[in-house]
Amino acid sequence: MHSAVFHCSWVLGAAFSADGSHVVTCSSDQTVRNWDLTTGASVQTLADSHSDQAWGVAFDPSGGRFCSVGDDRAIRVFEATVAGGE
């Protein structure tokens, strides 16, 4: 089990990839992060991905993309980084 604190505020949403290897989190700090659950490392940080709180995230079934929604009324779609660093 891994534990990490990399958001600067409340974590408001989380979604697991279909294969269970990654989890995407979103926060009231306006960031979205993609985590490798094997290592516990953040492999992708999308700082200021919303102009207000990010409330929810979801992976597409293939795991190649994920989206986030926020109080700024935006839906953002991102390509998932599955290996490497931030």
**Consecutive 10-residue averages of pLDDT for the chain (86 residues):** 64 91 90 90 86 92 94 94 53
Cα–Cα dist 67/69, whole Å: 7
Written as one string, the DSSP assignment of 23-54 is EEEEETTS-EEEEETTT--EEEEETT-SSS-E
User: Does 3 map to a domain?
Assistant: no
User: Does 39 map to a domain?
Assistant: yes
What range does the domain containing 17 cover? Answer: 11-79
Cα–Cα dist 13/6, whole Å: 14
User: Does 63 map to a domain?
Assistant: yes
Give residue 84's pLDDT: 45
Give residue 86's pLDDT: 43
Phi first, then psi, for residue 81 (nearest 5°) are: -90, 125
Domain with 46 in it: what CATH number? 2.40.10
* Cα–chain center distance at 21: 13
Look at the chain and report how many structural domains it folds into: 1
* Cα dihedral 61, 29, 11, 55 sign: negative
pTM above 0.95, yes or no: no
Give residue 59's pLDDT: 95
Cα–Cα dist 19/23, whole Å: 10
